[in-house]
Structure 1
Amino acid sequence: MTVNPVDSTAGWYLNAAARLWRMKPLGSTIREFHRSLPGYAPTPLVSVPEIAAMLNVGFVFVKDESQRLGLPAFKILGASYAISRALSARLDVPGVALQLEELRDRLGSSSPLSLAAATDGNHGRAVAHVANLLGLPATIYVPDGVSQAAKDAIVGEGATLVVLDLPYDDVVQHAKSASVGDVVLIQDTAWSGYTDIPQAIVDGYDTMFAEVDDQLREMGIDHIDLVVAPSGVGSFAQAVVAHYRSTENAPAVLSVEPETASSVTTSLNAGQLTSVSTADTIMTGLNCGTVSEIAWPILQAGLDSSVTISDRQAFAAVHELAQNGVDSGPCGASTLAGAHAVLADADRRAALSVAADAVIVLLSTEGRAANPKGLVANA
């Protein structure tokens, strides 16, 4: 079923029972894998007291993913882990993520394998980057609307770039059809019969949240009241829900998406997976019309709330964060825009139990270099 996303019910969703739902924790093996990657270090968790005052809360922390393992976005966490799991299985070592050095040695210089992905920017670059580290070719498929800078960055990682005059969801289908035989598709959305790799991508994101937990403890803060995450196909929001629904004193989780690509909010309000028609947005990485099948049950059960925002709100948030010393592109800054939209409304604020002394974590998933389109002043 496809609906027009411009709908009076599409801009806000609330599940009052979500915080009672629980999942089992993933454990430490994923973070151990990431620690083995060259150049690994936790990304900063930045306190922004001026924004906390504007939102009338105790603390606001921004998880700054503008530099993650040499790339300007968080996506390499999921891509690297999923690639390792997928290639380890191809090498008859299923169920583990071999370190990249061992993978490279086992693959050798004459491996017939190659990697592929559809992307609206950061995911494809991350796949290409890891392929380059492994000495494997990669083919990355993108919609024509992706910025030239993002296209150039993918090519700069050594990948073959295929530009298609199609919406993102159709580009995914094209990549799926083209990935046969020795071509390993590394896609961050799931469908029937294709779930293991998307789940590994989701699991890979858990390292970010483990870092947040450690960083807050080091600051003497033992709880979070609200975590805000951007949402495209829902995989990142799925990872956020999975992590924080496996902890004690679980915080509320709010997802944010463009009002022109409201697949998560629309589906949640409809009570079923519902694809939406999308339109151009500066939040390029969130311009997705269909929720991942493996994300859907997690979001429906464990996501407290979802809100949609405009390009103007995202654009303003980019500059507000910049004024507070945080490098954030429009997808990452969408979390601040979503926090403003929700916390300025007394009823929504109360529904999420956000008091004046609340601790809020905004997950800023990209720097401005990841999406120069988000700096266009007429957003």
Structure 2
Amino acid sequence: MCTCHTYFNSKVVSFEISPTAGVLEFHQKLPLYKPTRLVGAPEAAKRLGVRHVWVKDESSRFELPAYKILGASWATYRELETCFGPFHPWSNLDELKVQLKDTDITLVAATDGNHGRAVARMAKWLGLKSRIFVPDDMVEARREAIKDEGAQVEIVHGTYDDAVAKSAHISGDKYLVISDTAWEGYERVPTWIVEGYGTIFTEVDEQLRTLGMEQPHVVAVQMGVGSLAASVIRHYRSSNHTTRILGVEPTRAACVLRSLEADELKEVPGPHISIMAGLNCGKPSPLAWPFLRNGLSGSVAIDDSFAEKAMCLLAQDEIISGESGAAGLAGLLALFSERTDADKASQIFGIDQNSSILIISTEGATDPQSYIRIVDSASKTC
């Protein structure tokens, strides 16, 4: 029996969106830039019965274990430029840092792990301070990783959404809030976050071209507040793409799926308990919502067992993917685990033995002890 909840969207449209200029060029100026690898996952492809499963492995982006630095860095730069620019031309961060040397600013963010660490890293690179709000159930390894970036970490007694609310009330000339979710009156920075993630798909396009491979027929993407999914939709649901997109989220934090069913933004009250900590969000970003509502071909809410199986299956393909990182594959495993949903999904997504699927492994083993325990345990059943 499939322990998942599905929604198939009959209102999918294409979007007329021009790529944002300068994003890739900005990332190329950051320390140690190189494209993350795009690798085939033959074991996963065999399990799903498709020709190719491509995995964009974000486990080492600028030597951080997740993709979040792409959005955090671009949004931080654009917000700093808006508030303190225009900057003189620069070719590396040291030259930009000199222009900010008299700026007494603290970057503020709420996080369930990776976004906060990325904001803290950007602050460290630029010689700024950072203050990161985290929910009280965050595992120690992720909390310590943020502290190691030089951030002041403040524990909020509640959920990720409570941490967001706390950060939203920080005000004053000495603070810049760098949030990947939007609220009323706060949309500029989350827009830049979504733009920043676009570098992932620019790289994928070039990597597939180099391999002589076609564009993916389906992309499975993690939800959370929906910022990464919005970036996927902006890229793959443009007028020259017909790629289908599947959204994936934990059963107890299925705010996007509930919103799709209601055709309006819905909140899922906490606690949001799942090993997919990066996806434990109770409210979609209002900024991402129009893309999610009209760009997702379907959505699936899954329990943790599928994430564990996906982590194990990716490990067989020599890909280290954490609990949230493996969620895209987990959603596909869940979707095709029950015949009724599988038949409908195959029809809607056009998946068959000739299909090519893209998964974004958004993080590596950000909680190493948990990763070893899960993969060792799941290896008996995956």
Aligned-residue offset at 1:25? 2.6
Check whether the contact 1:229–1:253 (CA below 8 A) recurs between aligned residues.
Answer: yes
Query: Residue 184 of structure 1 is aligned with which of 176, 183, 189?
Result: 176
Pairing 1:31-180 to 2, within 5 Å after superposition: 31-93=24-86, 100-108=93-101, 110-180=102-172
1:304 aligns with 2:301: no
Residue aligning to 1:275? 267
Query: Residue 16 of structure 1 is aligned with which of 10, 27, 31?
Result: 10
Secondary structure of the residue that 1:331 maps to in structure 2?
coil
Aligned-residue offset at 1:341? 1.9
Q: In structure 2, give the amino acid aligned to 1:77.
A: L
TM-score (norm 2): 0.92
1:30 aligns with 2:19: no
Residue aligning to 2:360? 363
The percentage of counterpart residues that share the same residue type is 41
1:285 aligns with 2:278: yes
- What do the CA deviations read for 1:3-25 (whole angstroms, capped 9, x no partner)? xxxxx9x921212341x422313
Between 263-272 and 345-354, report the one with greater CA deviation.
345-354
Secondary structure of the residue that 2:310 maps to in structure 1?
helix
Query: Residue 353 of structure 1 is aligned with which of 347, 350, 353?
Result: 350
Check whether the contact 1:147–1:373 (CA below 8 A) recurs between aligned residues.
Answer: no
Check whether the contact 1:229–1:237 (CA below 8 A) recurs between aligned residues.
Answer: yes
Query: Residue 238 of structure 1 is aligned with which of 230, 236, 248?
Result: 230
Aligned-residue offset at 1:249? 3.4
Check whether the contact 1:254–1:303 (CA below 8 A) recurs between aligned residues.
Answer: yes
Query: Residue 334 of structure 2 is aligned with which of 341, 345, 348?
Result: 341
Aligned-residue offset at 1:356? 1.3
Aligned-residue offset at 1:247? 5.5
Q: In structure 1, give the amino acid aligned to 2:358.
A: V
Q: In structure 1, give the amino acid aligned to 2:251.
A: E
Secondary structure of the residue that 1:260 maps to in structure 2?
helix
1:316 aligns with 2:313: no
- What do the CA deviations read for 1:251-295 (whole angstroms, capped 9, x no partner)? 101110000100011100110000002321110000000000100
Distance in 2, Cα, partners of 1:128 & 1:233: 20
Check whether the contact 2:108–2:131 (CA below 8 A) recurs between aligned residues.
Answer: yes
Closer, same or farther: CA 307–90 of 1 in aligned 2, 3 Å: same
1:225 aligns with 2:217: yes
Q: In structure 2, give the amino acid aligned to 1:93.
A: P
Residue aligning to 1:3? none
Distance in 2, Cα, partners of 1:43 & 1:281: 27
- What do the CA deviations read for 1:337-366 (whole angstroms, capped 9, x no partner)? 111122441111211111210010011100
Check whether the contact 1:84–1:99 (CA below 8 A) recurs between aligned residues.
Answer: no
Distance in 2, Cα, partners of 1:221 & 1:38: 30
Distance in 2, Cα, partners of 1:369 & 1:302: 30
Between 263-272 and 217-226, report the one with greater CA deviation.
217-226
Closer, same or farther: CA 134–232 of 1 in aligned 2, 3 Å: same
- What do the CA deviations read for 1:73-115 (whole angstroms, capped 9, x no partner)? 0000000000000001111329x9996334311111x321110
Q: In structure 2, give the amino acid aligned to 1:258.
A: P
Closer, same or farther: CA 370–243 of 1 in aligned 2, 3 Å: farther
Check whether the contact 1:142–1:168 (CA below 8 A) recurs between aligned residues.
Answer: yes
Count, aligned residues: 368
Aligned-residue offset at 1:221? 1.1
Aligned-residue offset at 1:369? 2.8
TM-score (norm 1): 0.93
Check whether the contact 2:310–2:333 (CA below 8 A) recurs between aligned residues.
Answer: no
Closer, same or farther: CA 43–247 of 1 in aligned 2, 3 Å: farther
Q: For structure 2, list consecutive stretches of 5 or more residues without a partner in the other structure.
A: none
Distance in 2, Cα, partners of 1:179 & 1:371: 36
Closer, same or farther: CA 71–247 of 1 in aligned 2, 3 Å: farther
| CA RMSD across the alignment | 2.0
